[in-house]
Amino acid sequence: MNASISTTLAQGLDAIIEMDAPLAGHTWFGVGGNADMLARPRTQEALQELLRRCHNANLKVRVLGSGANLLVLDEGVDGVVLKLDQPAFTQWTFNADGKANTVLAPAGVDVLKLLNACVRQGLDGLCQMAGIPASMGGATRMNAGGKYGCIGDAIHSVATMNHRGEIQVHPHNAIQFSYRHSGLPQDLILWTLLQLTPGDPAALRKKMLEIYQFKKDSQPLAQQSAGCLFRNPIAPDGTRTSAGRLIDLAGMKGFSHGGAFVSAEHANFVCAHKDGRANDVLELARVIQERVFTCHGVSIEMEVAVWGRSYEPKEKK
């Protein structure tokens, strides 16, 4: 990004701007390159103006949440990376607009912090998110969850903002939630309204801790990874097959490539060493895909988002 464009984008904008910003520290993999510009708007109005300016300058915009489902390649990314981590985007509201048992959660809200707050308030509906690190925007976008349910189960409505700064509210019945998919337009997610149910705080805390313990016992949560790397593929009978089991049966547990390796605890977790490269992770992912197809005749797709200046995801067959 040349200096004149960056100056035009930042001029008079109520935002924290960093040029040539390292992104590795913003992701759970802890590896990867820099962004041409990292922008952290302080207000909704600043966000709207920035989106309009980026559109007028024909610049690509990417939204960085908690970085728990993201691999930034070593070449870094062009355009503008948005991080909604300022108070205007991280503070939730209980009983928004007088709606009982609801929580209005802007896109930058930490889902795990919100889960704990809801449990203390005696509100049930988010316990399935225990042990899943995510921002509300990212969790909503991919309908994050697992065997205990998905966040879409608790969503009442979602607001999105397009490149012109226009806001549209989508009710639950118009979103079409499915496995790792929300059906929302590719606009920026601004906030999510959750519809929860009353419950006993002590019972909810017990439920939350049990789910977290299950994940802690079966997943390498302390390693540098982005959680499950691949989606569970659909079997011929319409059921989903465990990608981790397919990788395990293909003999890939513990397999390493450069600075990346397949976890010995859970085969669908690919981890990076502290001195590893992001491209090692991507190359290992491709090796896993080839091995699984050779052994089982099954294609597995990456669940983790990949960012790179020249990266183009393969077309789905």
**Do 226 and 303 fall into the same domain?**
yes
Domain boundary among 153, 169, 204: 204
**Residue 65 sits in the same domain as residue 115:** no
| pLDDT > 70: percent of the chain | 97
CATH number of the domain enclosing 31? 3.30.43.10
> For residue 317, is pLDDT > 70?
no
- Positive or negative CA dihedral for 124, 229, 27, 77? negative
Q: How many C-beta neighbours within 10 Å does residue 10 have?
A: 16
Q: Which of 44, 71, 87 is the last residue of a domain?
A: 87
The secondary structure of residue 210, as a DSSP letter, is H
Residue 27, domain member (yes or no): yes
Instruction: Indicate the helix (H) or strand (E) that contains 205.
Output: helix 201-218
The verdict on 69 and 58 lying in the same domain is yes
**Between these two residues, 106 and 240, which has the higher pLDDT value?**
106
* Averaged pLDDT for residues 22-27: 96
How far is residue 213 from each of residues 24, 132, 163, 218, 222, measured CA to CA in Å? 28, 12, 41, 9, 13
Average pLDDT, the chain: 93
pLDDT digits (tens, 9 = 90+) for 198-222: 999 999 999 999 999 988 777 766 6
- The number of folded domains in the chain is 3
Looking at the fold, whether 117 and 64 belong to one and the same domain comes out as no
**Pick the catalytic residue: 18, 265, 283, 303?**
303
**Structural domain boundaries, residue 274:** 220-307
Q: Residue 138: inside a domain, yes or no?
A: yes
Same domain, 47 and 94: no
The pLDDT tens digits for 130-169 are 988 899 999 999 999 988 999 999 999 999 999 999 999 9
pLDDT of residue 240: 87
The tokens for 23 are 């992104």
Alpha-carbon distances, residue 105 vs 193, 250, 269, 304 (angstroms): 6, 41, 29, 23
| 180 has catalytic annotation | yes
Q: Is the pLDDT of residue 193 over 90?
A: yes
Secondary structure (3-state) at 70: strand
Asked if residue 187 and residue 106 are part of one domain, the reply reads yes
Name the 3-class secondary structure at 51: helix
Convert 234-250 to b/e letters by CB count within 10 Å (16 or more is b): eeeeeeebebbebbeeb
The answer to whether residue 316 scores a pLDDT higher than 60 is: no
Specify whether 71 is located in the same domain as 94. no
The domain boundary residue, chosen from 48, 69, 87: 87
Domain presence at residue 210: no
Q: Are residues 225 and 193 in the same domain?
A: no
The beta-strand segments (E) located in 42-100 are 61-64, 70-72, 77-83, 93-94
Catalytic: which of 42, 52, 180, 291?
180
Residue 115 falls within a domain, yes or no? Answer: yes
Instruction: Note whether 51 and 10 are same-domain residues.
Output: yes
Q: Is residue 214 part of a domain?
A: no
Q: Assess if residue 317 is contained within a domain.
A: no
122 contacts: CB under 8 Å, gap ≥ 6 = 198, 199, 200, 201, 204
Distances (CA, A) of 271 to 205, 210, 221: 30, 25, 10
Residue range 251-267: mean pLDDT, rounded: 94
Mean pLDDT, residues 54-79: 95
49 is catalytic: no
The one catalytic residue in 118, 228, 271, 277 is: 228
Judge if 124 and 185 occupy the same domain: yes
- pLDDT category at 63 given cuts 50, 70, 90 is very high
Judge residue 261's burial from the number of C-beta atoms within 10 Å of its C-beta, 0-12 exposed, 13-18 middle, 19 or more buried: buried
Output the pLDDT for position 225. Answer: 81
228 is catalytic: yes
> What pLDDT shows up at residue 222?
62
